[in-house]
C-alpha cells in the first residue's frame, strides 16, 4: 500500500482523509505539530499521526496542507527524496514549491470546502515533465472527495480559485441574503434558513437534471410582468450579476498578487 503523508492536519486535510478512508488505497500518516489535534485525527479517522515528517522515499506521496506563508518553514527540514508532492496551498506556484522542497515532482491542487461532504471541486495543474502515473495518483486522491478538473496552464489556477475555490463563499453569501430577506417578510430564523436551503438545493438539482442553460431555466419561471419578473428586474437594476463578476475578478487578482508576494519572499 502506497504511503501518503499529509503535512498539516487542518480542515481540508481532514476532508480529503475522510474521503480516502472509505476505500483504503493509501497508508495515511498526518504530520501535525499540535498534540491535541494529533490525538483527534487518530481518534476520528483512524490514521497514523506524527509530530514531524520522516525521510521519504521516491514511491511515497506528500500532500502539503499548511498555510502558504508557513510553507518555507514547514519544508525547511523535509527530505522528500524524489517523492511525489501535491500542494493545496494557494499562491505558491510549482516553481516556488519545487525550490522550497528541493524536488521538481510537484502538482498543484485548488480544492474547495464542499470536499468536506464529498461534493468538492478541485482544479489541478502539473508541469509538462510530470508523469501521467503521478497525475493519476492526484486524480484518485481528489476524486475521493468530489470532481476533478485538470488545467492546461498554471495561470488558470488563479481563475479556478476565483470561480470554484472561493465559490462556496459566494453561495453562502447569497444564502444569507435570501434568508435575511425571508426574515424581513415575517419568517422566523429557522424557517428562513430552511426555505433558503431548500430553494437553492432544488434549483441546483433541477439545473443538473435538465441540462438546460441557466439563462433558459430562469426564463422558464420569469413570465413578463409577473412576480418573478419584478424580482429579476430589481436584481438587474442593482447590478447583482456585475457584482458577482467583480467579486470573481477581485479574487483572481488577489490570487495573482499573493503568488507574486510569496515567490519573492
Phi then psi for residue 64, to 5 deg, are -85, 115
CATH number of 167-253: 1.10.3730.10
CATH 1.10.3730.10 residue ranges for the chain: 167-253
Parts of the chain belonging to CATH 3.40.50.720: 2-152
Closest CA to 13 of 168, 142, 163: 142
Distance of alpha carbon 178 from alpha carbon 176, whole angstroms:
5
Q: Report the pLDDT value the prediction gives residue 265, as an integer from 0 to 100.
A: 64
Q: Which residues face 121 on adjacent strands?
A: 147
Tens of pLDDT along the chain (265 residues)?
Answer: 899 999 999 999 999 999 999 988 999 999 999 999 999 999 999 999 999 999 999 999 999 999 999 999 999 989 999 999 999 999 899 999 999 999 999 999 999 999 999 999 999 999 999 999 999 999 999 999 999 999 999 999 999 999 999 999 999 999 999 999 999 999 999 999 999 999 999 999 999 999 999 999 999 999 999 999 999 999 999 999 999 999 999 999 999 999 988 877 6
Q: Could you tell me the CA-to-CA distances from 156 to 89, 125, 186 in Å, in that order?
A: 15, 9, 44
Residue 263 has a pLDDT of 79
- Tell the residue number behind the cell numbers 506524527, with chain if given: 50
Cell of 232: 429579476
123 three-state secondary structure: strand
- Superfamily of 2-152 according to CATH: NAD(P)-binding Rossmann-like Domain (3.40.50.720)
Helix intervals (H) in 111-264? 132-143, 156-160, 167-184, 189-210, 214-220, 227-237, 240-264
DSSP assignment, residue 22? T
- Confidence at residue 264, expressed as pLDDT on a 0 to 100 scale: 72
Phi-psi category of 256—alpha, beta or left, where left has phi over 0 and alpha has psi -120 to 50?
alpha
Question: Are the CB atoms for 191 and 182 separated by under 8 Å?
Answer: yes
Amino acid at each position: 500500500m502506497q504511503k501518503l503523508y499529509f503535512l498539516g492536519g487542518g480542515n481540508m486535510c481532514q476532508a480529503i482523509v475522510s474521503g480516502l478512508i472509505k476505500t483504503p488505497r493509501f497508508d495515511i500518516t498526518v504530520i501535525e505539530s499540535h498534540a491535541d489535534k494529533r490525538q483527534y485525527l487518530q481518534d476520528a479517522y483512524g490514521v497514523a499521526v506524527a509530530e514531524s515528517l520522516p525521510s521519504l522515499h521516491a514511491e511515497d506521496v506528500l500532500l502539503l496542507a499548511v498555510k502558504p506563508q508557513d510553507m518555507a518553514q514547514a519544508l525547511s527540514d523535509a527530505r522528500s527524496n524524489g517523492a511525489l508532492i501535491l500542494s493545496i496551498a494557494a499562491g505558491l506556484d510549482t516553481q516556488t514549491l519545487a525550490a522550497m522542497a528541493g524536488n521538481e515532482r510537484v502538482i498543484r491542487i485548488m480544492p474547495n470546502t464542499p470536499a468536506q461532504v464529498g461534493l468538492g471541486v478541485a482544479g489541478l495543474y502539473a508541469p509538462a515533465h510530470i508523469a501521467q502515473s503521478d497525475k493519476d495518483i492526484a486524480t484518485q486522491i481528489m476524486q475521493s472527495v468530489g470532481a476533478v478538473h485538470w488545467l492546461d496552464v498554471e495561470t488558470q489556477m488563479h481563475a479556478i480559485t476565483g470561480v470554484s475555490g472561493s465559490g462556496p463563499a459566494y453561495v453562502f453569501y447569497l444564502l444569507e441574503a435570501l434568508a435575511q430577506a425571508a426574515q424581513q417578510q415575517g419568517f422566523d430564523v429557522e424557517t428562513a434558513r430552511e426555505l433558503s436551503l431548500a430553494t437553492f438545493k432544488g434549483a441546483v438539482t433541477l439545473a443538473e437534471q435538465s441540462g438546460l442553460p441557466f439563462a433558459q431555466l430562469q426564463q422558464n419561471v420569469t413570465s413578463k410582468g409577473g412576480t418573478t419578473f419584478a424580482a429579476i428586474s430589481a436584481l438587474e437594476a442593482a447590478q447583482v450579476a456585475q457584482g458577482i463578476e467583480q467579486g470573481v475578478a477581485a479574487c483572481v487578482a488577489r490570487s495573482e498578487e499573493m503568488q507574486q508576494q510569496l515567490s519573492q519572499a
